[in-house]
Homo-oligomer: A and B are copies of this chain.
Amino acid sequence: MLGRVNHIAIVVPDLGKAVASYRDTLGASVSAPQSLPEHGVTVVFVELPNTKVELLEPLGEGSPIRSFLDKNPSGGMHHICYEVDDILVARDSLIERGARVLGAGEPKTGAHGRPVLFLHPKDFFGTLIELEQV
C-alpha cells in the first residue's frame, strides 16, 4: 500500500530562521514561503534529490500545529507523508486491519490540492502518518 515518501514535515517556531538554517547552514534548496490560511500553516519546501522536507509554521490562532508547538517549543518532526494510489481503498483496508483514521474518516484536500488522510499516531508507535493520493 505505501508508496513513496512524499515529504517529512517539521514544525518550526520561526520559519524565517529555519529557512536561513536549511539554506545557508545546510546548503539545501528551499522554496519561497506559501501561506495556506485554509490549512493554518505557512510552508516552505526543502527540495532533496529523492523527496522533500516541509517546514511548517503555524498561521492563525486555529492552526492545527499550534498545540504541537506548545508541547515542543523548539519545534520537531511532526509527520511523514506516504503516497498511495487510491486513498479510499487504502482507508478501507486500514480500518479493516484495526487502524484508526483521524477525523470523520473522509479524505480532505491537503496542502498540495490532493486527497489526504491522517492515521492515529497511537496505532503507529508515536508517528503521525499522512496518506496522500497521487
Chain A residues with a Cβ under 8 A of chain B: 1-5, 8, 10-13, 17-18, 21-22, 24-28, 46, 48-51, 53, 55, 72, 74-77, 80, 82, 93-94, 97-99, 121-127, 129
Contact = CB atoms under 8 A, between A and B. Distances in A.
A21 to B, nearest CB: 6
A127 B98 CA distance: 30
6 contacts: A2-B26, A2-B28, A4-B49, A8-B80, A21-B124, A74-B126
A100 to B, nearest CB: 11
B97 A5 contact: no
A46 B80 CA distance: 13
A40 B60 CA distance: 43
B76 A27 contact: no
A28 B49 CA distance: 22
A59 to B, nearest CB: 17
B27 A1 contact: yes
A16 to B, nearest CB: 12
A119 to B, nearest CB: 9
